Structure 1
Amino acid sequence: MTFWPTDADPGHLEQTLARLSPRWTTWTLLTLQRHDHLRLSELGRALPWISGTALSQQMPRLQHHGLVDRTGRGQYQVTDTARQLAPVYQALSAWESTRFPTDQPTAKAERIETALARLRPRDTTTVLHFLAQHPRTSFTELQQRIGRPGSAYARLQRMQTDALLTRTGHGQYELTETGAALGPVYEALNTWSANRTTAAAPVHITAPIVQETVSARATAALRRTTTAAQGLFSHAPTPESAVPAAWTSASRPLRTR
Structure 2
Amino acid sequence: MPITGLPESISSDLSRVTESLQMLAPRWNVWVLMSLSEKPLRYGELKRTLHWLHDGQLHPRLVRLTGAGLLERTEYDTQDVLYSLSVRGRELLPVLGVIAAWGGKHLEKETVLDPATGRQVPKAVPRAQDIEDTIALIGPRQATPILWTLRIRGLSSPKALAFTAMPDRHLTTVYPPLNRLVEDYLVARDDQGRFELTAAGRELAPVYQALSAWAAGRPLAVAAEHPVWAPKPAQSPDRPAVWATTQPRVPAPAPKAQSHGTWQSSALFSHTPAVRPADAPTTGGRTR
Matched, 1:180 2:202: yes
Q: Which runs of 5+ in 2 are unaligned?
A: 1-8, 110-121, 220-248, 274-287
Root-mean-square deviation (Å): 2.5
Pick from 105, 123, 140 the counterpart of residue 159 of structure 2: 140
CA-to-aligned-CA distance 1:10-47 (integer Å, 9 cap, x gap): 2221111111221111110111122x222222211011
CA-to-aligned-CA distance 1:62-90 (integer Å, 9 cap, x gap): 01110011113221111011111122112
CA–CA distance in structure 1, aligned partners of residues 190 and 72 of structure 2:
48
CA contact (8 A) 2:50 2:255 kept: no
Pick from 48, 53, 57 the counterpart of residue 50 of structure 1: 53
Matched, 1:131 2:150: yes
Name 1:72's counterpart in structure 2. Answer: 75
CA–CA distance in structure 2, aligned partners of residues 65 and 119 of structure 1:
20
CA contact (8 A) 1:81 1:196 kept: no
Q: Which runs of 5+ in 1 are unaligned?
A: 1-5, 198-212, 234-243, 250-256
Normalising by structure 2, what TM-score? 0.68
Q: How big is the shift at 1:169? A: 1.1
Q: From the superposition, tell whether residues 170 and 85 of structure 1 become closer, same or farther in structure 2 (CA, over 3 Å).
A: same
CA–CA distance in structure 2, aligned partners of residues 176 and 130 of structure 1:
14
- Describe how 1:186-225 pairs up with structure 2 within 5 A: 186-195=208-217, 214=250, 217-218=252-253, 221=254, 223-224=256-257, 225=259
Q: Secondary structure at the match of 2:21?
A: helix
Matched, 1:231 2:231: no
Name 1:204's counterpart in structure 2. Answer: none
Q: Secondary structure at the match of 1:85?
A: helix
Normalising by structure 1, what TM-score? 0.76
CA-to-aligned-CA distance 1:78-125 (integer Å, 9 cap, x gap): 101111112211211111111124211001111111111111101111
1:80 counterpart letter in structure 2: V
CA–CA distance in structure 1, aligned partners of residues 261 and 143 of structure 2:
38
Identity %: 31
CA contact (8 A) 2:124 2:271 kept: no
Count the aligned residue pairs.
215
CA–CA distance in structure 2, aligned partners of residues 16 and 151 of structure 1:
23
Q: How big is the shift at 1:247? A: 4.9
Name 2:193's counterpart in structure 1. Answer: 171
Larger Rg: 2
